[in-house]
């Protein structure tokens, strides 16, 4: 058997874990000790020594190189162990019936070669004839390793164990993994001890009885003779704070349907007093074989400060384990293969039955109970989601969406609406499938009635999904429009902040909020005329600052005489040259013979000086519509009104607005043309009315938009 070093480096990726070499060395030492104890049970404890040597390099001694030596008191490199060492895809450990042994594929040692130019081994083991020592000298030119490359010599029974030495770190590896920090910091004795406590905590705790009063010693020596030492011992291990398990449902990869089986995920939470445990960070990780593989801390602690500092005076380590993770861990042990982000997966070759999203749905609320910084309120986020996006508590419950620390209103709304979108697509697909089946059914059979019933129930169940998403979007959109109108009326929009001397466009801005200028309802259906009245939303035709002569009636003919625009201009010209080309800001027409005239006045312009405009418009529209329009509703909208100018108008019981009703008579013949109901409306009244109208929707949806302290 031969280990092809170059081929293995090409086919096995380098791990993204900067401590992977230490983890592999110590993990193999633990395995070797368990094998020794199984073969020769005695009252001994695990001892591992990790020595890191820094040496100066370069002509001026301004460079640094590093070597690592790991020595243990395990079983040593006997024949079986030596064969496994030179076999990349080995099943050696898989066949050992020893509790606590880490299963492997023999790829861990490939990380040694990814990180270092030279790998050496010195190991003493017991045979029937006594102790024997195997030695593999470090050699940078070695391309393959065979069992025959090991030297054999007599050994000392007292030296049973293995020492592996790694020399000359590769420049490419140093640039990729350690560019942001110095090797002296990464591999200081203190940092190695802190990080290995996190990496091996779960495994060491579970093997307390087998490892005895173990000691894992760390020593760093620099080129000037300085030595730093630290150690991790059995007495350093904390007790687990809490262990929780949850079941994740397995699903069909292509349909997403449940398969009737589950995978168990176990979460072990260690809550460590920061004054006792000097750890570099909090750690929440998916594990494989009791060791962290994929760090997911940032999902739950969003900022770097929260990740690296104690939370409420404690460091938190949460380790998530499952048989699925053991099976799916990748070769370089920094992630998992074959676990998709979402289900279903449209891949004919996948064998996945669980997605990360399924796992997170189950573990998120558990971790939220374990690790949540103070000052965060789930209720505040839920209220913000309702305020900003109209996603109410009932929708969170309906979609089984949980809010966890670090969630924003946007992220929660996106999750909810995505689930509704997926549900709507699935429901629609099922409806079409049922339709296809109905088309082939025979009406006189019982199956036909069954399909009809099934289709009706499917439609009924879908209505809730469609309506809840659409109605919520409508409420939030309208709430936003009301807020924009409120700001515009108070000159609070950024576009209204203009330099002195520039012409203000406040009337144009407010006009466009109600209905886009110079368009009609044939050109756009996206408007907000509901601000004035909900029923106007459904009138047959709306024109905004458009020529009235172009408006067509239901029979294809023109609603007004062709000369109406000229006469309107002439009418207004007689009043003021400034209004020569003016038309009603918005005119709304219904086929039952009603017209709504809306005239906006910019903030600060007195409305009482323009109350005659509505009457003039109504008279002209009535006269030129050839008897089609008889009922007129006029609205003069602004923010300034002098009550002394409103003689003959009546004041509303609430607010400062006025209304007036009058007949429209031809001034020459006295013939009755129609009737005008007119109102002066303050912008603040419109805002209040619209807010109350939205309030009805909120009540139906059980939305609370109020700000609570």
Looking at 572-699, which runs of residues are DSSP E strands? 586-590, 594-600, 631-638, 650-651, 658-665, 672-682
In angstroms, the CA 588 to CA 593 distance is 11
Is the domain spanning 2-233 CATH 3.30.565.10? The answer is: yes
Q: Which of 279, 276, 275 is nearest to 201 (CA)?
A: 279
Q: Which of 263, 268, 367, 366 is nearest to 322 (CA)?
A: 263
In angstroms, the CA 376 to CA 407 distance is 10
Q: Which of 595, 589, 515 is nearest to 552 (CA)?
A: 589
DSSP 533: -
pLDDT at 434: 58
- Looking at the whole model, is its pTM more than 0.75? no
Residues 6+ apart with CB under 8 A from 578: none
Q: Which residues of the chain carry a pLDDT beneath 50? A: 572-582, 701-709
Residue 224, SS3? coil
Q: Are 67 and 165 in contact (CB under 8 A)?
A: yes
DSSP 329: B
Q: Which helix (H) or strand (E) holds 288?
A: strand 283-288
In angstroms, the CA 492 to CA 494 distance is 6
Residue ranges per structural domain of the chain: 2-233, 242-374, 375-489, 506-687
Residues 6+ apart with CB under 8 A from 236: 197
CA dihedral 440, 445, 451, 457 (to 10 degrees): 150
Query: Around 180, how many Cα atoms within 13 Å sit in the side-chain half-sphere?
Result: 2
Using a 10 angstrom Cβ sphere, with 0-12 exposed, 13-18 middle and 19 or more buried, the burial of residue 73 is buried
* 131 CB neighbour count, 10 Å cutoff: 16
Return the structure tokens found at 288: 């494989």
Tokens 């400060």 belong to which residue?
Answer: 305
Check whether the bond before 137 is cis (ω within 30° of 0). no
In angstroms, the CA 388 to CA 476 distance is 7
Q: Are 631 and 593 in contact (CB under 8 A)?
A: yes
- Beta 47-57 vs 215-221: how paired, if at all? parallel
pLDDT at 707: 38
């Amino acid at each position: 058997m031969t280990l092809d070093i170059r081929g293995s480096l090409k086919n096995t990726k380098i791990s993204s874990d900067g401590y992977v070499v230490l983890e592999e060395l110590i993990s193999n030492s633990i395995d070797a000790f368990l094998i020794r104890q199984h073969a020769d049970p005695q009252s001994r404890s695990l001892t591992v020594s990790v020595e890191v040597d820094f040496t100066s390099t370069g002509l001026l001694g301004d460079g640094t190189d590093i070597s690592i030596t790991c020595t243990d008191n395990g079983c040593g490199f006997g024949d079986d162990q030596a064969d496994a060492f030179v076999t990349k895809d080995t099943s050696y450990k898989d066949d050992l019936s020893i509790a606590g042994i880490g299963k492997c594929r023999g790829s861990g040692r490939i990380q040694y070669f990814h990180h270092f130019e030279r790998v050496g081994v010195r190991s003493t083991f017991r045979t029937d004839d006594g102790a024997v020592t195997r030695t593999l000298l470090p050699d940078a030119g070695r391309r393959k390793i065979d069992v025959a490359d090991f030297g054999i010599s007599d050994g000392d029974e007292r030296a049973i164990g293995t020492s592996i030495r790694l020399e000359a770190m590769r420049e490419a590896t140093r640039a990729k993994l350690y560019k942001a920090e110095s090797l002296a910091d990464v591999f200081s004795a203190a940092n190695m001890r802190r990080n290995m406590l996190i990496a091996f905590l779960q495994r060491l705790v579970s093997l307390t009885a087998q490892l005895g009063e173990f000691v894992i010693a760390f020593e760093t020596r620099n080129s000037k003779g300085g030595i730093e030492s630290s150690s991790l011992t059995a007495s350093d291990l904390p007790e687990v704070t809490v262990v929780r398990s949850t079941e994740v449902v397995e699903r069909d990869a292509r349909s997403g349907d449940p398969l009737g089986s589950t995978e168990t995920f176990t979460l072990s939470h260690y809550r460590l007093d920061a004054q006792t445990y000097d750890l570099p960070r909090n750690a929440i990780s998916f594990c494989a074989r009791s060791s962290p593989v994929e760090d997911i801390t940032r999902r739950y602690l969003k900022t770097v400060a929260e990740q690296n500092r104690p939370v409420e005076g404690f460091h938190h380590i949460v380790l998530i384990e499952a048989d699925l993770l053991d099976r799916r861990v990748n070769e370089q042990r920094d992630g998992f293969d074959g676990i998709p982000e979402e289900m279903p997966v449209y891949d004919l070759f996948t064998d996945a039955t669980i997605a990360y999203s399924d796992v997170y749905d189950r573990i998120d609320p558990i971790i939220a109970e374990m690790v949540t910084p103070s000052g965060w309120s789930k209720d505040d986020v839920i209220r913000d989601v309702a305020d900003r996006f109209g996603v109410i508590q009932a929708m969170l419950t309906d979609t089984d969406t949980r809010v966890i620390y670090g969630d924003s209103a946007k992220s929660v709304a996106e999750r909810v609406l995505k689930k509704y979108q997926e549900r709507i697509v699935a429901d629609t697909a099922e409806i079409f499938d049922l339709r296809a089946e109905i088309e082939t059914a025979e009406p006189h059979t019982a199956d036909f009635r069954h399909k009809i019933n099934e289709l009706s129930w499917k439609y009924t169940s879908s209505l809730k999904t469609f309506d809840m998403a659409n109605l919520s979007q409508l409420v939030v959109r309208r709430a936003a429009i009301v807020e924009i109108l409120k700001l515009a009326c108070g000159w609070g929009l950024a576009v209204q902040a203009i330099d002195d001397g520039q012409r203000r466009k406040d009337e144009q801005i407010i006009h466009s909020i109600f209905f886009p200028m110079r368009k009609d309802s044939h050109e756009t259906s996206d408007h907000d005329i509901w601000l004035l009245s909900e029923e106007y939303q459904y009138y047959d035709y709306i024109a905004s600052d458009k020529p009235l002569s172009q408006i067509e009636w239901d029979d294809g003919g023109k609603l007004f005489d062709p000369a109406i625009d000229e006469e309107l201009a002439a009418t207004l010209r007689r009043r003021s040259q400034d209004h020569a080309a003016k038309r009603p800001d918005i005119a709304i027409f219904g086929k039952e013979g009603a017209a709504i005239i809306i005239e906006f006045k910019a903030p600060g312009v007195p409305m009482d000086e323009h109350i005659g405009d509505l009457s003039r418009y109504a008279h002209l529209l009535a006269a030129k519509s050839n008897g089609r329009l008889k009922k007129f509703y006029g609205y003069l909208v602004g923010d300034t009104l002098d009550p002394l100018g409103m003689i003959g108008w009546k004041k509303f019981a609430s607010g400062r607005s006025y209304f007036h009703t009058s007949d429209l008579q031809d001034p020459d013949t006295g013939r009755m043309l129609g009737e005008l109901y007119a109102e002066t409306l303050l912008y603040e009244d419109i805002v209040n009315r619209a807010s109350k109208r939205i309030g009805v929707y909120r009540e139906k949806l059980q939305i609370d938009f109020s700000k609570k302290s």
